[in-house]
Amino acid sequence: MTDPLLSSYTGWPVIIGSGLAGLSVALHLKQPCVLLSPHPNGEGSSTQLAQGGMAAAIGPDDTPEDHARDTLRAGAGLCDEAVVRAITQAGPSAVETLLRWGVPLARDESGSLALHLEGAHSRPRVVYAGGDQSGAYIASSLREKVRATSRIHVLTGQSLEGLHHEDGLLRGVWVSGGFIPTQCCILATGSCGGLYRHTTIPLSNKGMGIAHAALAGARLGDMEFTQFHPTSLAAGPTQTRRPLISEAVRGAGGPLVLENGERFTEELAPRDVVSRAIAAQLKDGHQVYLDGRHFKDRPFSARFPAITKACHAAGLDPDTQRLPVKPAMHYHMGGIAVDHHGRSSLPGLWANGEVACTGLHGANRLASNSLLEALVCGKWIAEDIDAHSTPFIPLRAPTPRVPFLSPTWTLNDLMEEQAGILRHEDGLRALLEKALPLARHYGPALTASFIAWAALHRKESRGSHWREDAPTSRSPQRQSWTLVDLPSA
Ligand code: SIN
């Protein structure tokens, strides 16, 4: 039984997800739309947890070309260069948009916007808010703006349960409350970090958006590239979601050290490089620490209040103690393959944010480029939808949905061990053997199968994909797949 309220949205653009990717599309659209979210205040979104901020070339000596160059270098030969140039070019106006929408970005003593330095950026380039609470500040300002915009209808307690298509077109969306007939759906469902044993993102994000899009026939791209953030806090209660210690801490001068205080890596190298360096030390039995005790001007706790709170909860004082750290799954560069308008290969289905794969990130995302991508591409998607709206064609009859099951069995340990920082053909095959039999009935297993399948086929090491059995870089070609490419279980 469909809730009559859902039926009243027949033919409207339906946005699924309430992080920056969904909010940006909603706010940029000119027509009425409905935004659906499982949680009332975007709690389940990665935006809410983002610490670093948004990268944009607004510094006095910076240019979008420099930002593009850093993005391409971090992406290790697999970025879509046209997308990189277009998004980095749009960075400065994206910052103006955030200011216009009321986001209280931090300023320095002279009143200019303050900029953090993060890994693999050639200069300070990241605007931020609340010290280390950029995502939470951005999300709350945008949610307030959404509340004040009457053409945006927000429904909470609703998650995606399926995409209905007829004759190769998206024709409706199954959500918890029933069915919405529409030929315009924007997936902004976020990450798949919850597939791993340790992640910095909300655990409920297990790649369901990718799984539903794949089942509906959409093409997926760059699925093998999963980014591990080098510094999650390795202390406190054993838990799957690990508190992040922002790259801005290393950007402010905090070194990574071993037990004896010795440095062992270039702290601001691209993330994949730093994560592998830490993983190698941990494998050798060392403990790795981030030392934030010696900042000039202001102590750690004044610069990074949210991280300080997380450290206190784990019984650590970052002003006086070194912080034990460990890499944790943080961001998926792959996802639903989209073009420069955010369109997937299934007409009527757009994707934005981490669930999408635009080609901006290549094999390794440059820090703080994801909020920029979500904001800028959200605008492009809205413009595309407003420019091409067509009257709703009545449905033949929505086929009954075949829901994914929710088994209690979990893949997290296998994903961590076989599709983590270091990979090997044998382990990837073992993962695929376990995941594939469940893939048609269990969304996380379908997404995991695509990650394993893509990683198996990339017989080289590049960016965040490191094969112990193929340690050199060989083929700078992007891979993409649809459901029919997966072997049947
Ligand atoms: C961080 O603050 O280190 C995370 C920023 C990002 O993932 O882009």
Active site residue 151: no
| Among 270, 450, 432, residue whose Cα is nearest residue 363 | 270
* Res. 407: pLDDT tops 80: no
Give the ligand 1 atom nearest the CA of 247.
Answer: 3
Q: Is the CB of 52 under 6 A from ligand 1?
A: yes
pLDDT, residue 461, reads 97
Phi, psi of 408 (to 5 degrees): -80, -20
- Note whether 8 and 49 are same-domain residues: yes
370 lines ligand 1 (CB under 6 A): yes
Best mutation site among 246, 275, 360 for ligand 1, i.e. most ligand atoms within 8 A of its Cβ? Answer: 246
Choose among 333, 87, 330, 329: nearest CA to 210.
Answer: 333
Q: Say what percent of the chain tops pLDDT 90.
A: 88
Q: Name the strands in the sheet holding 226-233, side by side, starting at the edge strand that comes first in the sequence.
A: 226-233, 323-332, 289-290, 256-257
Asked if residue 247 has its Cβ within 6 Å of ligand 1, the reply is: yes
- Give the 3-state secondary structure of the chain: CCCHHHHCCCCCCEEECCCHHHHHHHHHCCCCEEEEECCCCCCCCCHHHCCCCEECCCCCCCCHHHHHHHHHHHCCCCCCHHHHHHHHHCHHHHHHHHHHCCCCCCECCCCCECCECCCCCCCCCEECCCCCCHHHHHHHHHHHHHHCCCCEEEEECCCEEEEEEECCEEEEEEECCEEEECCCEEECCCCCHHHCCCECCCCCCCCHHHHHHHHCCCCEECCCCEEEEEEEECCCCCCCECCECCHHHHHCCCCEECCCCCECCCCCCCHHHHHHHHHHHHHCCCCCEECCCCCCCCCHHHHCHHHHHHHHHCCCCCCCCCEEEEEEEEEECCEEECCCCCECCCCCEEECHHHEECCCCCCCCCCCHHHHHHHHHHHHHHHHHHHCCCCCCCCCCCCCCCCCCCCCCCCHHHHHHHCCCCECHHHHHHHHHHHHHHHCCCHHHHHHHHHHHHHHHCCCCECCECECCECCCCCCCCCEECHHHCCCC
Mean pLDDT over 230-248 rounds to: 87
51 CB within 6 A, ligand 1: yes
Which ligand 1 atom sits closest to the C-alpha of 118? 3
pTM for the model? 0.96
pLDDT at 279 over 70: yes
Tell which of 343, 372, 388 closes a domain. 388
Say yes or no: 305 and 255 in one domain: yes
Examine the domain organization and report whether 303 and 354 are in the same domain. no
User: How far does CA 368 lie from the centroid of its chain?
Assistant: 10
Together in a domain, 297 and 343: no
Could you give the CA distance from residue 109 to residue 93 in angstroms, rounded to a whole number?
A: 23
Cβ burial of 398 (10 Å; 0-12, 13-18, 19+) is middle
Assigned domain for 320 exists: yes
Q: Please, are residues 180 and 392 in contact by the beta-carbon 8 Å criterion?
A: no
Look at 250-254, 291-295, 399-403 and tell me which has the smallest mean pLDDT.
Answer: 399-403
Tell me the CA–centroid distance for residue 402 and ligand 1, in Å.
37
Is 409 a residue whose pLDDT tops 90?
Answer: no
Residue 203, domain member (yes or no): no
| 57 and 111 share one domain | yes
Q: What's the whole-number mean pLDDT along residues 375-384?
A: 98
Answer whether 248 contacts ligand 1 (Cβ < 6 A).
Answer: yes
Helices 369-387, 134-147: inter-axial angle, 10-degree rounding: 20
Amino acid 294: pLDDT: 94
pLDDT of residue 131: 95
My answer on whether 21 and 135 are in the same domain is: yes
Q: Is the pLDDT of residue 395 over 70?
A: yes
CB of 175 within 8 A of CB of 158? yes
Here the CATH number for the domain that contains residue 284 is 3.90.700.10
Q: How far is CA 460 from the centre of its chain?
A: 24
Q: In this structure, are 138 and 261 located in the same domain?
A: no
Of 313, 328, 343, the residue at which a domain comes to its end is 328
Q: What is the mean pLDDT of residues 93-112?
A: 97
Substitution site in 125, 133, 330 for ligand 1 pocket (most atoms within 8 Å of beta carbon): 330
Domain range for 139 is 4-190+331-388
Name the pLDDT band for 3 (thresholds 50, 70, 90).
Answer: confident
- What local confidence, expressed as pLDDT, does residue 204 receive? 87
Would residue 58 count as lying in a domain?
A: yes
The atom of ligand 1 lying closest to the CA of 330 is 7
Catalytic residue, chosen from 271, 303, 423, 462, is 271
**Closest CA to ligand 1's atom 8:** 368
In a domain, 446, yes or no: no
Question: What proportion of the chain, given as a percentage, has pLDDT over 70?
Answer: 97
How far does residue 247's CA lie from ligand 1's centre (Å)? 6
107, part of any domain: yes
Q: What sign does the dihedral 368-370-376-379 (CA atoms) show?
A: negative
Pocket test for ligand 1, best of 133, 227, 229, 365 (most atoms within 8 A of CB): 229
Summarize the confidence of residues 98-117 as an average pLDDT.
Answer: 97
Q: Are residues 270 and 370 in the same domain?
A: no
Q: Give me the half-sphere count of Cα atoms (radius 13 Å) on the Cβ side of residue 13.
A: 32
| From 125, 232, 244, mutation site for ligand 1 pocket: most ligand atoms within 8 A of C-beta | 244
Spatial distance between the Cα atoms of 470 and 64, rounded to a whole number of angstroms: 35
Q: What is the pLDDT of residues 292-335, one digit of tens each?
A: 999 988 999 999 999 999 999 999 999 999 999 999 999 999 99
Domain boundary among 299, 328, 357: 328
- The CATH number of whichever domain residue 339 belongs to comes to 3.50.50.60
d(C-alpha 97, C-alpha 95), whole Å? 5
Q: Are 243 and 307 in contact (CB under 8 A)?
A: yes
Q: How far is the CA of 92 from the centre of ligand 1 (A)?
A: 19
Give the pLDDT confidence of 117-154 residue by residue, as tens digits.
999 999 999 999 999 999 999 999 999 999 999 999 99
**Phi, psi (deg, nearest 5) at residue 336:** -70, 120
Q: Are residues 272 and 283 in the same domain?
A: yes
Mean pLDDT of 256-264: 98
Ligand 1 centroid vs 52 CA: distance in angstroms? 5
285 CA from centroid of ligand 1 (Å)? 27
The pLDDT confidence band at residue 241, using thresholds 50, 70 and 90, is confident
- Of 354, 163, 29, nearest to 12 by C-alpha is 29
Ligand 1 centroid to 349 CA: how many Å? 28
The mean pLDDT of the chain is: 94
In a domain, 216, yes or no: no
Whether residue 34 is found in the same domain as residue 183: yes
Is position 335 within any domain? Answer: yes
If phi > 0 it is left, if psi is from -120 to 50 it is alpha, else beta; for residue 301 that is alpha
- Ligand 1, residue 51: give the atom nearest the CA: 2
CB of 201 within 6 A of ligand 1: the answer is no
Contact 464, 64 (CB under 8 A): no
Please identify, by atom number, the ligand 1 atom nearest to the C-alpha of residue 370. 8
**At a CB cut-off of 8 Å and minimum separation 6, what does 433 contact?**
none
246 Cβ below 6 A of ligand 1: yes
Instruction: Tell me if 217 is assigned to some domain.
Output: no
Q: Are residues 263 and 120 in the same domain?
A: no
Q: How many domains does the chain have?
A: 2
Q: Note whether 122 and 32 are same-domain residues.
A: yes
Q: Cα dihedral sign for 48, 94, 346, 431?
A: negative
Distance (angstroms) between ligand 1 centre and the Cα of 360 equals 16
Centre of ligand 1 to C-alpha 254, Å, is 15
Ligand 1 pocket check for 368: Cβ under 6 Å: yes
Let me know if 298 is exposed, middle or buried by CB neighbors in 10 A (0-12, 13-18, 19+): exposed
pLDDT value at 337 more than 90: yes
**CA nearest neighbour of 290 among 328, 327, 244, 325:** 325
Positive/negative CA dihedral, 79, 380, 227, 266 = positive
